[in-house]
Structure 1
Amino acid sequence: MPVSTPGQGDAQRAETPAQLMEGIRRETTARLLPLLGETLRAERARLQQACDDATQGAPAHDADVEDLTSLTVLAAELIQHEHRWQKALGEVFAAWPEPPLTHARSAFSLLSDDELQAQLIGQPVAEALDRRFESQRDIIDRRLHTLATRVQYRGRPCNPLSARFLVECFLRAFAAGDCGRRLRALLLRRHELLLDGALGALYAWCNTRLAEAGCALAGDSDHAALLAGLGGSTEALPSHRTPIWEQGNAVMRAGAGVAPGLRADAPRGNVLRRYARRQRDARRAELDAAQRSFRRDEFLSTLSLLQSERSLPAGETHAIRLREGLYAVAAGLGIDRQAVAFDGEQDEALILVGAVFDLIAARHQLTPPARERLALLAVVWVHLALEDMQLFEPSSPPAMQLLSALVELWDGVDPEDPQSIEQQTLADRAADAVLDSPHGDGRVFPAQLAQIDAALAANRRRAEAVERRTWQALRGRERLDAARRQARSEVSRRLEVGALLPSVAGFLDVEWRRALEQAWLRDGEMSDRYREVLSLGDALLESDALAANDGGSAVADRLLGILPALRDCCAQSGNDADATEARLAGLVAEHASQTPRRTHMPTPPATADAPLLPDDADPQAGLADTRFVEGQRFVQPGAAGAARRLRLAWRSALSGACLLVDATGARQWVLMPADLHAMIEAGQLQPRPSGGAVSQALATLAAQAGGG
């Protein structure tokens, strides 16, 4: 539970920067400290399961046993590790706005073995987390820059909540002396998963806290105020501090070294805006006929009124509806549409947002009310396109994540399914919250994302548990099918040599076949044990051939040599001691007598043992097909607008077979990739992109624009 809640704005603004940062430190501790214990418990449960699941007769891996022992010790000393973590985090906050001393070392300083190990395993994790939360962290960075000016700090302040500091705090809590490098890396990966689920809410809270404390976003329009706060020009800055106008700083001179409307750190956005500019140039005559362009404040006011009216005129595309809606609102304000046009930046935003929303609407099965809500949301996204130059980047800011989540909830709603209707209602509420929020309030997007995630969490966990049981059963069944198929092939190949003694043919068809299946399942077809069982079958055929040629003592010698292996084979087949001795006695008797030989057909599989997939299915073809990945969504269209959502929950590592489950995790189909592709071609299934609706739409636009 959070230890503090933002109070009234006036009281927050009266706080000193030190008090504000101390409040953030306490909240961060309250939210993240419990993750240390969760990390140990989760990893210990995984290792314990791995040891419990070890193959019968084979010991668990020594490394797993050693790590499990180390985890037991770490768990017993958890309080000590939590104190270390709190101390490390406190040092980061105490040094703010400077980075902590560990990050201010000389370029010529030597790293200890522990520091080097921490850097090797920690840096990739920190970079991955920073990429995932880049947009939210950037907002906090910019607010902290404003806060730093209050203490006369002239450089770019560090962000104590950045992933590099949080990862370092974790590694200092569990130093190299406490556990081996392998276990330390495993714990860090487990901690990364927990941080991934916690940082979004923490960043959203921190952003709200800073905003209510009066820390505005440092941006292009803030340079005069910031310079005044620093008490002079940038030329007076100490050489060891970051210059305020340096490229990449939270505050950067507008247009410095970058073309108007473009930014060096927004490559895909630049490509898309140039593409929109070419489309705008095609309408140059229409634009030149206007006497003037909308002023920025005039355009934003009109956009805000259009959002509040919750109504858009009809039109073929979203861009047309947006333009007509803006002109209609402007007319109510006394602005003649013949005399005014949208300027380049405004028109580019309308073109790009309209194109993205057109693609989303065309590629998803949405009900009419959902389509109308989607169109209304386009008004909000036009404002975002004007304010956020990185809106269209692959980093996917919270606004784009929320849009993808809404489309996913609206897509393929089944009116007969209560859970589907519930998800549609959840999406409607989130969309209404966005439409009701004022322009420029970025808090609504992570807040609604968190609400959607919390509302779906229970159903998602239940569905994941059901589908996990389903695919684990299928995986076991498929392995058994593969073992049986391989054993049938080996038996058939040996029975095809011609007439055999009945006892030899029967032994190969029953006991030897079962031993092959067991060896394949337990050890794999490349194992020594599997090759030993194969050799036993060949040796039995050789003894039969010797007996047919009156081999005499050679037959007895061969049988005596393989007798222990034959006895072990019977035991693996499930025969008791009496049945085993009777089976072996029959083998010996037939070898010693003139028992007639005859051809033998392999026993066909029982009906109850029918394979999961047809015997003629080509496993290699399924494995080579990489068009489908686990987690991919599908929509199955139904009659009268009904639909059903499906998910690819599992792909077989043996055959490439795909398990499709419904929203509850229940099995619907098990298909080879070729069959799944055929259903898609026939329109029976509609695939959805793994990256989300917005990501796919932006990738399509970038390809059309020539940007890949």
Structure 2
Amino acid sequence: MSVHSLTAASASRTDPVRVLEEMKRLAVEQLGALPHALAQAVEKTLQSTAGGPSYEEQTALALLRQNGASHVMRFRQQIATGFDEFRGASSITGGDRLDLVGEQQLDLHLTGQRLSDMLEQRYQRPLEVMKQRLDAVASALGAHVGSNPVAPARLVSAFIETYAETGLPAAFNGVMFRQYQLALGRVLDELYVRINAMLATAGYGQDVNARRAAPQTTTPSTRAWLGEQVEARASAPPVRSAAPDGHGESAAPPVVSSRLVAELAGLRAQLHARRNPDAAAMHTGAPAPARPLPVRDVATIASVLQSEPPDAYARALAAPGRLSDAIRDQMLDGARRLGLGNDRVCLGEQEEDAIDLVSMLFESLFRTHALQDRARRLYARLVLPYVKVALAGDALFVQTQHPARRLLDAMTEACEDNDGSTPQDRELLERASAVSQRIVAEYHEDLAIFELAHAELEALLVQQRRRGELQESRAAKATFGRERLAQARASADAALDALLSRAPITAAVAEFLSAPWRHHLVQTLLRDGADCERVQQIHVLGDALVNADALAAQARGRDLADCLIALQPSIVQCLGSLGLDENAARHGLAMLVRDLATPDAERRTHAVVPLAGDEPANDDPRLCLAGGTATVPHDPGVAAMIRRLQPGEWMRLIDAQGEATSVKIAWVSPLTSRLLLVNRRGMRVLVAAPEELAAMVGAGRLMLGGERTPFSEAMLQLRQRLDHAVGQH
């Protein structure tokens, strides 16, 4: 290289101290949680052995749990120290010491050496590339070349130093090393790629000239990142995805649904049938067939683009049917920008299937669940990670407990019907947003990140479900209370109508019966029920007042006086139910006696005026929630099926604005058989009789038989959408 080239290369490099600090931050972030995950994996491994852990192993596990926080801190400090030593920030004093080494310590170091040799061999190529670039960093610092701070030997040494003083039994150390090997391998697969990319981007290594010669449509950081992805992924061994339970290779195989396998095969056939006409038209008159990109290159492109802003996908989610086009455009443009192809490359059938399935899945989630605009960018971030999961195989679509599937369910549960109106709702949205950002930053073929992200979000969702259950209970109690009130008022109105229609009476008696007497009867019905003695006494009082009015009309003053004296305690008690004190009640009694004392007062038949109800406004103006269901046009068979539904059953409701939302039967009224439907937050959405719901089914506004999980519901809608699309062809 010429002097001019060397000068230009040096000028284009980032400050080496800054580069090392960024490397240290990344290494500590990626590796720092290993002791915590290691303790959990060791415990699960020992619990799964025949007979469970021995007493000695239980004691060791207790020590791990007790000192977990200090182990994490010590391990992170060991990682950071490696970087400080590399740049000469800390020096080793005192010279070498010759100490006696115990047998257990010697065994630890020998086991560590074997692990270090194995990892050095496995990551030989990326480590060689990293060494050249770290040498350039050391030269820029003007220091002697130090050891790689993230080399396997250094990381194994950090592990030994962290647990050396714990006093764990020798047999236990073997399990620890095995789990550390599995956990470390999962992290290093991606960490080495990212560090090599970081160094190349900063200008250290042989990629400076290559980056300068790259097409100007791509930023230097993106080009360097792609070069490192292609180089490191081609040389590194195949990546094994971690099992959700942390057991690595010893984990039980996931359960695959044979029904879902068959359905997925049918979906793929429909996708091929739908794409073939478009593909034939696209290639008509083409000079040569396009070359499909290898699946590994497609996954690499997705990894590179994963961290870029998701604006294109967010816009596509707002326009149904556009997401798959946006993904293809971004992928092919990324291939051209990164030098993996030109205008004559295309995606293979497997990659096309993955993109179509993921795009239709995400679009179906927005169609079938009330996801707010605020959630659109959150989901847009997840598009490429889920494309990568789909590219890796069919597990996402055929395993009901797949980590990525469970995370998408949790994300939808957190975001559906969530407008951030309460502090709890805002906290849930913020946690969901942080989880999506974590997936973008940390997902690189290892599914364990989905499991960790799901656990992080699930902790907050448990609290939401509890609040939802309380909200459901309050909504059911409030609805039941309104129904009991309506029933009591209907019963009181019927009794009042019988009294008022018996004979013409004075306005004073009619007013007393219509107000305090009816109110007292309603309150007693609610409090004591229809069969109690007090209700009978109130009916006797009503009959007696009508008879007293007849005595007054006949000018039978003595009989009237005796009757009113006998009724005085009941009348005062009735007036008191309105909240009047004893003096006010007696004043009301005096006014009633005064009016009855005039034999020639006007008497007429009075009509019952219904009391104003407190039932909330109808959720749907076409529904009469208070009754009249016999006149609603409906399918009796559908109504009968709805009557058999139990609380917990899910449906899909289309509201007046055409928005779909998931609703659940929270409660069925024992009085009216009406169903209370709530959303995922436990909020009341609709209360209606089976006949009214059957009418909504007939109008296409209510779909029965909804799936219990958002992912399953979205896949159901995806199948229906494909059935319709293929049928049109």
Shorter-normalised TM range: 0.3 to 0.5
- TM-score, structure 1 normalization: 0.47
The structure number with the bigger radius of gyration is: 2
